[in-house]
Chains A and B, each alone.
Chain A
Amino acid sequence: MNFKPLFAILFLVTICSCKQEPQQLTRIEGKLIAITDSIETDASIEAFVKPYRDHINKDMDSVICFARNTYSKSDGELNTAIGNLFADVIFEQTNPVFKQRTGKDIDMVLVNHGGIRSIISKGDITARTAFEIMPFENSVVVAAIKGSQVNQLIAYLVEAKRAHPIAKLKIVLDINNDLFEASINNKPIDTSKIYYVATNDYLYNGGDGMNFFKPSDSLYILNYKIRNTFLDYFGKMDTINPVIDDRFIKLKK
Chain B
Amino acid sequence: MKRRNFIQQTTAATALATIGGLTLPSFMSASKATKITILHTNDVHSHIDPFGPEDGRNPNKGGIARRASLVQDIRNENPNTLLLDAGDIFQGTPYFNYYGGELEFKLMSKLKYDAATIGNHDFDNGIDGLYAQLPHAKFDFISANYDFSNTVLDSHVEPYKIYIKDGIRIGVFGIGIELDGLVIKDLYKETVYLNPIEIAQDMSRILKEDEHCDLVICLSHIGYEYKNNAEKPSDLLLAESTKNIDLIIGGHTHTFLPRPTIVKNIVDKDVLVNQVGCYGINLGRIDFFFDSDKNKTANGTSIIV
Residue of B nearest to A60 (CB): B94
Please encode chain A, from 22 to 39, with 1 for each CB lying within 8 Å of some chain B CB and 0 for all others. Answer: 111111111111111101
CA distance A201 to B32 in the complex (A): 57
Q: Is the interface of B mostly helix, strand, loop or mixed?
A: mixed
Please encode chain B, from 229 to 251, with 1 for each CB lying within 8 Å of some chain A CB and 0 for all others. Answer: 00000000000000000100000
Whether A42 pairs with B8 at a CB distance below 8 angstroms is no
Indicate if A10 sits at the interface (CB-CB under 8 A): yes
Chain B residues within an 8 Å CB radius of A102: none
Indicate if B260 sits at the interface (CB-CB under 8 A): yes
Chain B residues within an 8 Å CB radius of A3: none
- A selection of 12 A-B contacts at a CB cut-off of 8 Å is A16-B15, A20-B31, A29-B304, A30-B260, A31-B259, A32-B285, A39-B67, A49-B49, A49-B64, A131-B94, A201-B186, A205-B184
**Sorted from nearest, which 10 A-B pairs have the closest CB atoms?**
A16-B12, A42-B68, A24-B297, A23-B290, A21-B292, A30-B260, A27-B289, A17-B27, A45-B65, A39-B66
CA distance A35 to B47 in the complex (A): 12
Indicate if A1 sits at the interface (CB-CB under 8 A): no
Chain A residues within an 8 Å CB radius of B276: 32
- Chain B contact residues, CB within 8 Å of chain A: 1, 5, 8, 11-12, 15-16, 18-19, 22-24, 27-28, 30-34, 48-50, 60-70, 72, 91-92, 94-95, 97-99, 103, 106-107, 110-111, 124-125, 167-168, 181, 184, 186, 214-215, 246, 257-260, 272, 274, 276, 280-294, 296-297, 299-305
Whether A28 pairs with B303 at a CB distance below 8 angstroms is yes
Indicate if A18 sits at the interface (CB-CB under 8 A): yes
Whether A205 pairs with B65 at a CB distance below 8 angstroms is no
With A16-B8, A42-B66, A221-B186: A25-B301 Cβ-Cβ less than 8 Å: yes
Chain B nearest CB from A217 CB (Å) reads 18
Whether B65 pairs with A42 at a CB distance below 8 angstroms is yes
Whether B12 pairs with A32 at a CB distance below 8 angstroms is no
With A30-B284, A137-B125: A13-B19 Cβ-Cβ less than 8 Å: yes
Chain B nearest CB from A117 CB (Å) reads 12
Enumerate A112-168 residues with CB–CB distance to B below 8 Å: 128, 131, 135-137
Residue of B nearest to A52 (CB): B103
Residue of A nearest to B94 (CB): A56
Chain B residues within an 8 Å CB radius of A42: 65-66, 68-69, 72
Beyond A23-B33, A34-B282, list 9 extra A-B contacts (CB 8 Å). A25-B215, A27-B289, A29-B304, A32-B259, A34-B61, A35-B280, A35-B283, A49-B49, A56-B95
CA distance A20 to B290 in the complex (A): 12
CA distance A32 to B257 in the complex (A): 8
Whether B23 pairs with A13 at a CB distance below 8 angstroms is yes
Whether A32 pairs with B66 at a CB distance below 8 angstroms is no
Please encode chain A, from 47 to 60, with 1 for each CB lying within 8 Å of some chain B CB and 0 for all others. Answer: 01100110110011
Q: Is the interface of A mostly helix, strand, loop or mixed?
A: mixed
Chain A residues within an 8 Å CB radius of B283: 32-33, 35
Chain B nearest CB from A214 CB (Å) reads 11
Total residue contacts A-B, CB cutoff 8 A? 205
Contact of B214 among A13, A23, A32, A201 (CB under 8 A): A23
Chain A residues within an 8 Å CB radius of B15: 9, 12-13, 16
Chain B residues within an 8 Å CB radius of A49: 48-49, 64-65, 103, 107
CA distance A12 to B62 in the complex (A): 54
CA distance A25 to B297 in the complex (A): 7
Indicate if A176 sits at the interface (CB-CB under 8 A): no
Contact of A201 among B60, B63, B68, B184 (CB under 8 A): B184
Chain A residues within an 8 Å CB radius of B98: 52, 55-56, 59
Please encode chain A, from 77 to 114, with 1 for each CB lying within 8 Å of some chain B CB and 0 for all others. Answer: 00000000000000000000000000000000000000
Chain B nearest CB from A202 CB (Å) reads 8
Chain A residues within an 8 Å CB radius of B181: 205-206
With A40-B69, A201-B184: A17-B28 Cβ-Cβ less than 8 Å: yes
Residue of B nearest to A28 (CB): B303
With A21-B294, A25-B290, A45-B68: A30-B272 Cβ-Cβ less than 8 Å: yes
Chain B nearest CB from A250 CB (Å) reads 32
Indicate if A41 sits at the interface (CB-CB under 8 A): yes
